[in-house]
Amino acid sequence: MSHRIDPYHYRENPLLVVISGPSGVGKDMTLKRMKELGYPFHFVVTATTRPKRPGEVHGRDYFFISKHEFADLIEQGELLEYAIVYGDYKGIPKAQVREALASGQDVIMRIDVQGAATIRKLVPEAVLIFLSAESEEALVRRLQERKTEPEDQLRLRIATARQELKQIDWFDYVVINAENQLDETCRKIAAIITAEKCRVQQREITL
């Protein structure tokens, strides 16, 4: 006999939500705007060995650490996932994710497509959302307009982005982050989370 779910004693499990997509699609800006709008989620802070960019704050945008410190985290098994991205290391500290889930909070992390693939294998019940621009041309234009890197590295990012767009099939959802529509992008992500909370069969996250 199958287990009957009682809607009057229904428990919503906390979710692990991954926001991914190619460089330049607006992952950082989307999460920053969701924070500004007051969404009640735990936003994961990624550890990275890359230098700070202008305007970035340690502990808010990233944990900026040395490669030696990063190696210690790897050896201690304290990273949910990590990868080399354009020559620098990025990783998700396990502790903050476990603590947030244990407190009942939904956890949102932004991560590159390579890292999202790792999360899919390690945490199959995570909700994976692919953030995309309106078109490939729009994505290339955004990368060009950032002017944060030399021409050869920009060409590498564009080539990588084109390959990452081909991996959308193993994501759960896709959200188009259209130009000047950031609040709408945030609303769509929040709507996905709300819908997931209404599932009869709840996702159960185990790390």
**Residue 172 vs residue 10, higher pLDDT:** 172
Note if 53 is an active site residue. Answer: yes
Task: Write down the residue that tokens 């959200």 correspond to.
Answer: 175
The pLDDT of residue 4: 67
Is the pLDDT score of 44 beyond 80? yes
Note if 157 is an active site residue. Answer: yes
Is the pLDDT score of 112 beyond 90? no
**Residue 41 vs residue 152, higher pLDDT:** 41
Segment 75-86 shows an average pLDDT of 87
CB 107 within 8 A of CB 92: no
The pLDDT of residue 135: 85
**Residue 145 vs residue 97, higher pLDDT:** 97
CB 17 within 8 A of CB 136: no
Task: Give the active site residue among 4, 155, 157, 162.
Answer: 157
Q: What share of the chain is helix, strand, coil (3-state, %, to 5)?
A: 45, 20, 40
**Segment 153-195, tens digit of pLDDT:** 778 888 888 888 888 999 999 999 998 899 999 999 999 999 9
Segment 41-56 shows an average pLDDT of 92
Task: Give the active site residue among 53, 60, 155, 199.
Answer: 53
CA–CA separation, 37 vs 18, rounded Å?
Answer: 19
Long-range CB contacts for residues 159-162, cutoff 8 Å, separation at least 24: 160/22, 160/23, 161/22, 161/23, 161/24, 161/25, 162/22, 162/136
Task: Give the active site residue among 60, 146, 155, 162.
Answer: 146
The pLDDT of residue 1: 44
**Segment 125-154, tens digit of pLDDT:** 999 999 998 887 888 788 777 766 677 777
Token output for 97: 């994710």
**Domains of the chain and any CATH numbers:** 7-44+106-197 (3.40.50.300)
What value does the mean pLDDT of the chain take? 88
Q: How many CB atoms lie within 10 A of CB 186?
A: 22
